Every structure is written in C-alpha cells, then in structure tokens.
Amino acid sequence: VQLQASGGGLVQPGGSLNLSCSASGFNFDNYAMAWFRQAPGKEREGVSCVSSILGHTKYGDSVKGRFTVSRDNLKYAVYLQMNNLKPEDTAVYFCATILSFDCLWWGPDNIAYWGQGTQVTVSS
C-alpha cells in the first residue's frame, strides 16, 4: 500500500495550493479518504474527508469555506484545493485511508493507511 502526497510548498497569506495524493495497493473506491495536518507541537488535526462512491464531504471547522476536497476513483487520487491560506494553516499535511466507505467517523484512530506528509508553509 502506498499513499503519495505532493503539492506542498511555501505560499503567501491569501494564496492557494492544491495538494494531491496518489494511492496504490488497495481497492481505493471502497474507502473514504481524508486529509489531516499536524503543526509543530500540536496534535494531528482532521482537515477534510470524502466518501468512497458518492463523494460526500466533511471539513474541519477551521477550513470550512476555504478548502475543497475531491477524489478521482479512476485515477486512485484524492485532492485538496486550499484557498485563502492563513499562517495558521502551516503544517505537514497527510492523506489517509479511512476504515470505512463513509466519513461518519474520520478521526485519526480510524485509519487504515497513512501517507507520508507534505509540508505547507504560509508566510510572507
């Protein structure tokens, strides 16, 4: 199983980034997929989740209205479009496979697979 995240970088406040996560080694369209982030000295935080087939989405309160999660089951990929980025969005972002087809419970203790992180830094 592999989850390969990419697209992180340095961006100014108010800017945008689009993260991608490429999956392999499991039946991607059977599982919900999520993004988490972890800033230095803080706990890992759920950012967003997208369900397996219908594409229903959920977001953490701090990113609602700014971030959009999507997936492409043909490409085995999940994306996170991040707009109006703020310095407090600075963190390592991880994609993860939820132990379910839906996002009913998408906490960090309900994860089948974790990907490696990609650093997002929002700074002027």
The percent of residues in the chain predicted with pLDDT above 70, rounded, is 100
Q: Report the distance separating Cα 17 and Cα 66, nearest Å.
A: 11
Q: What is the pLDDT of residues 48-67, one digit of tens each?
A: 999 998 999 999 999 999 99
Alpha-carbon distances, residue 59 vs 30, 47, 63, 89, 104 (angstroms): 20, 6, 7, 14, 12
Query: Which residue, among 43, 93, 97, 41, has the nearest Cα to 67 in the 3D structure?
Result: 93
Query: Which residue, among 120, 68, 73, 77, has the nearest Cα to 95 in the 3D structure?
Result: 77
Q: What is the pLDDT of residues 85-119, one digit of tens each?
A: 999 999 999 999 999 999 999 998 999 999 999 99
Query: Which residue, among 93, 114, 102, has the nearest Cα to 26 in the 3D structure?
Result: 114
Q: Which long-range contacts (CB under 8 A, 24 or more apart) does 52-55 make?
A: 52/101, 52/102, 53/29, 53/101
Please give the average per-residue pLDDT across 42-51, as a whole number. Answer: 96
